[in-house]
Amino acid sequence: MNPALFDAGLVALIASCLLLVALWAFDRFAPSGMMRERHDLTLAALLVVPLVFALALQPRPAVQEVDFLPTGVNEAITVADAAPGPKPEAGSTPNPLTRTVGDLIPVQLPWASLSFVAWMTGSALMLLRLCLDLGALSLLRHRSRRTALPGGLHLSRPVEIRRSDRVPSPLMAGYLRPAIYLPADFKLDGSARPILEHEIAHLTRGDAWTVLGLRFITAVFCWVVPLYALQRMLSRSREALCDEVAARVTGEPIQLAHALLDTAQRQLAHPSLALAAGSSRTALASRVHHLSSIDLKTQRTPVMRIALILPAVAAVAFIATPKVGAAVGSERWEVSYDVEDVSPLFHAAARGRVSEVRAMLEAGADPNEVSIGDGAPLFAAIRAGRRDVFDLLMQYGADPNLPVSGDGSPMIAAARNGQLEMLQLMLSSGASLDAGVEGDGNPLIAAVQAGDRNMVEFLLEAGAEVDAYVWGDETPMVAAAQKGDVRMAELLVEAGADISLTVRSPNHQGQEEYRSPVSEARRMGHGDMEDWLTRRGAQHQPPAE
């Protein structure tokens, strides 16, 4: 199971629990007349739960993180195999530095897969039941017969009436052809009008479609237990609201209460999609009590409506929901390498295994050994943000200015990755502030390319050369122009940068050309940067001009 799915599911479960507690408190302490508010708040909560799940799956803000993923591994490889020297004999005590491929590749826990299988199974069963219920409703219509209303019985709107010996109480059912289904022995006299108006209220409100949508949500999120309690709360308030409508249309709430009691005595079961007038004992008692307190002369305007509640709750969910999806941003590293090309010390440093790093260094391992395509161990510690490993490597003589083509130097890596504290420690140990590597820039150029304003400010205050030139990466101002970062350019100009400084640089074909902040802003299509430079008098000034 994808860890992000599991985390998002946990967020949705917690959110539903909090919503259930809040709605229980509102139901418990709000005035009894606020039935519309109870209904709309509960409906909003049910709709927000899948929204929270979707929001939680959104990519989370970038964090400094490193994943070293070995490639091309087909057999167990140990540190002892990669290092020179005699191999341990069979049956001997394993070396504490020995690591198999199982240490390199994360193990999928069985319970995660089982949870996903259980989720899919539960959802499939509930969706199957939903399909069966829809089939049952179609069969109910096929086996029922249409009935005409008596001449003296007038309803608020025309509706199809059908009789069936398969329903114990009146109910509204159907989507494209909705109808009120009555028991075969149900009397269509004056006392039936409140019950029929109650079912018409369901039709007018479109409750059948609401129930269908909520059942689909519950099927998809079958493991979010609070959803079931929220649906019961919604059903109770929905029935009470339809009771209100029926009471106001007929003008006889007490007659409707008696009709409910008579219907409840004969109710046994009904299709799960039905919106019957009958209810459980607790809900029925609540409905009868609500009917007895209705003031037919005063129709209160609800304080809150779903059109206002849902956007408000959704906005709160958007702000409060933590993001647990894949990290995005330039600060996330995913480095693939061949285990055989990486030194044991580099691998231990990348994984943050301090005890192993210490043991290798004490045994004479070279802290400046370069692994092809990845740099030295100090690079790995900086990229992973492991201060403990960094300190240990520096203690054993790691070179902070070690140049590695394609990776720069540890100082450049620290500037590029925002590791200000490590950069300060390397400076205090004697590292060069302006040392560059061809094609990889220098610390100031790397910080400008990363858009790290705090790092740039520190380097400038520490005395970094604002117009330092490195073959293949030009100058800090050229780097700012290539990114179109006007704010960074302003910071460099305040420190004395030359906005017209033109330097040699190789192009993609390996041919030499001259570049300046103006030429690079124009080449990269940053019109705002080009305008900003030209307004300040910047020019492209190769020697030939």
pLDDT digit string, tens, across residues 192-245: 888 888 889 999 999 999 999 999 999 999 989 999 999 999 988 888 888 888
**Residue 102 predicted with pLDDT over 50:** no
328 pLDDT exceeds 60? no
| Backbone torsion region of residue 72, taken as left when φ is above 0, otherwise alpha when ψ lies between -120 and 50, otherwise beta | left
pLDDT for the residue numbered 109: 45
pLDDT band for position 280 (50/70/90)? low
Task: Select the more confidently predicted residue: 93 or 399.
Answer: 399
- pLDDT at site 278: 42
Q: Looking at 84-93, 128-137, 482-491, which range is the least confident one?
A: 84-93
Neighbours of 67 (CB within 10 A): 13
Mean pLDDT, the chain, rounded, equals 79
For CA atoms 528, 531, 537, 541, the dihedral sign is positive
Confidence of residue 454 (pLDDT cuts 50, 70, 90): very high
User: pLDDT digits over 308-327, tens only?
Assistant: 788 888 888 888 888 766 55
CA distance 149 to 199: 15
User: Could you tell me which residues come within 8 angstroms of residue 347 by beta carbon, excluding any fewer than 6 positions away?
Assistant: 68, 79, 339
DSSP H helices, 206-352, are 207-220, 226-250, 253-266, 281-292, 306-320, 344-351
- Other C-beta atoms within 10 Å of 23: how many? 21
331 pLDDT higher than 60: no
∠ Cα 96 98 99 (to 5°)? 125
Please list, residue by residue across 272-292, b when 16 or more beta carbons sit within 10 angstroms of its beta carbon and e when fewer do: ebbbbbbbeeebbebbbebbe
pLDDT average, residue stretch 263-273: 48
Residue 406 vs residue 96, higher pLDDT: 406
Q: What is the pLDDT of residue 291?
A: 60
* Residue in 373, 386, 357 with CA at minimum distance from that of residue 64: 386
Q: What are phi and psi of 299, to 5 degrees?
A: -105, 100
**Nearby residues of 422 by Cβ (< 8 Å), 6 or more positions away:** 382, 387, 390, 414
Residue-level pLDDT at 276: 39
Binned at pLDDT 50, 70 and 90, residue 186 comes out as confident
pLDDT in tens, 115-142: 888 889 999 999 999 999 889 888 999 9
The distance of Cα 354 from the centroid of its chain, to the nearest Å, equals: 33
- pLDDT reported for residue 315: 86
pTM: 0.51
522 to 264, 490, 516: CA distances (angstroms): 80, 18, 10
Whether residue 266 has pLDDT greater than 70? no
Q: Which helix (H) or strand (E) holds 65?
A: strand 65-71
Question: What pLDDT is stored for residue 306 in this prediction?
Answer: 75
